[in-house]
C-alpha cells in the first residue's frame, strides 16, 4: 500500500495508513526525497500513528530518510509513535537520536513552523 504524500504550504505530510512492506517504505523514501525538491518544501512530517510496530528495518529506513531529506534542505518530524511501539523500540535497542518527534500531527506542524521561523530570523 503506497503512502499518500500531501502538500500543505511549505510542508509535505506523509501519513502511513497501514502496515507497510519493506518495498512500500523504500518507495516512500524515494518519493519524499524527490518531492522535497519539486515543491521546494521546508519541512516533512511523517505520521506513523497507524503503524502498529517499528522494527529495526523501519527505524533504519526512517532514519536514513530523515538524513536524506535534511541533505535536500528540509527538516523532518516523525509524529504519532504509539506508546506500545515506543516501549518495544527502546527494549529492542532502537533509537531515533537526533530526529525530531512529536506527539501528533498538530504538534509536528507546530514544531516545524517554530524551527522554520527561527531560521528565517537568522
Q: What's the closest the beta carbon of residue 14 comes to other proteins, in angstroms?
A: 19
In this structure, how many other beta carbons lie within 10 angstroms of the beta carbon of residue 40?
A: 10
Q: What's the closest the beta carbon of residue 78 comes to other proteins, in angstroms?
A: 17
Secondary structure in 3-state letters for 45-105: EEECCCCCCCCHHHHHHHHHHHHHHHHCCCEEEEECCCHHHHHHHHHHCCCCCCCEEECCH
**Span 31-90, contacts to other proteins by CB under 8 A:** 52-57, 82-85, 87-88
Q: What's the closest the beta carbon of residue 80 comes to other proteins, in angstroms?
A: 14
Stretch that binds other proteins, among 19-27, 28-36, 72-80, 109-117 (CB under 8 A): 19-27
Q: Quick one: cell of 97? A: 537520536
Which residues make up the interface to other proteins (CB under 8 A)?
A: 19, 21-23, 52-57, 82-85, 87-88, 91-95
Amino acid at each position: 500500500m503506497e503512502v499518500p504524500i500531501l502538500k500543505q504550504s511549505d510542508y509535505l505530510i506523509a501519513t502511513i495508513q497501514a502496515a507497510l512492506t519493506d518495498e512500500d517504505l523504500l518507495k516512500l523514501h524515494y518519493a519524499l526525497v524527490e518531492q522535497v525538491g519539486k515543491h521546494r518544501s521546508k519541512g516533512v512530517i511523517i505520521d506513523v500513528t497507524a503503524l502498529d510496530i517499528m522494527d529495526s528495518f523501519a527505524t533504519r529506513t526512517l532514519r536514513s530518510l530523515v538524513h536524506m531529506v535534511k541533505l535536500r534542505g528540509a527538516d523532518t518530524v516523525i509524529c504519532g509513535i504509539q506508546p506500545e511501539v515506543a516501549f518495544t523500540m527502546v527494549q529492542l535497542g532502537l533509537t531515533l537520536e537526533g530526529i525530531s518527534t512529536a506527539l501528533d500531527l498538530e504538534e509536528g506542524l507546530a514544531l516545524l513552523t517554530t524551527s522554520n521561523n527561527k531560521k528565517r530570523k537568522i
